C-alpha cells in the first residue's frame, strides 16, 4: 500500500489498516526507523478494567496498596 507524505510530514493511515488494527482517532502510535523503513506500531495501554477477572479475586491489605501508591488512604 502506498501513502503520500504531506505538509509537516503527515500521512493518512488508510481506513482498511485502521480497521484491521482497531485504531481510532486519538490512539497513540510508536514510530521508529529500522533498516531503511519507517515502522508504526500501536501503543497499547492496558487498564485495570482490561485485566479485571483474569486471575480471579485477590485479597490485599490496605497498607500494601498505600505503599504501592505512596499515599495514605485512611
Contacts of 21 (CB under 8 A, 6+ apart): 42
Q: Structural domain boundaries of the chain?
A: 1-47
pLDDT classification of 72: cutoffs 50, 70, 90: low
- Please say whether the beta carbons of 45 and 57 come within 8 A: no
Fold type of domain 1-47: Pemi-like Protein 1; Chain: D (2.10.260)
| pLDDT over threshold 80, residue 10 | yes
Residue 30 half-sphere exposure, CB side, CA atoms within 13 Å? 8
Global pTM? Answer: 0.55
pLDDT digits (tens, 9 = 90+) for 11-56: 999 999 999 998 999 999 999 999 999 999 988 777 878 777 777 7
From CA 7, how far away is CA 17, in angstroms rounded? 22
* Cα–Cα nearest to 40, from 65, 14, 67, 73: 14
Amino acid at each position: 500500500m502506498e501513502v503520500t507524505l504531506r505538509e509537516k510530514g503527515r500521512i493518512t493511515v488508510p481506513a482498511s489498516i485502521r480497521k484491521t488494527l482497531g485504531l481510532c482517532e486519538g490512539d497513540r502510535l510508536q514510530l521508529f526507523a529500522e533498516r531503511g523503513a519507517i515502522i508504526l506500531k500501536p501503543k497499547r495501554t492496558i487498564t485495570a478494567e482490561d485485566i479485571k477477572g483474569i486471575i480471579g479475586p485477590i485479597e490485599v491489605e490496605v497498607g500494601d496498596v498505600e505503599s504501592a501508591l505512596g499515599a495514605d488512604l485512611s
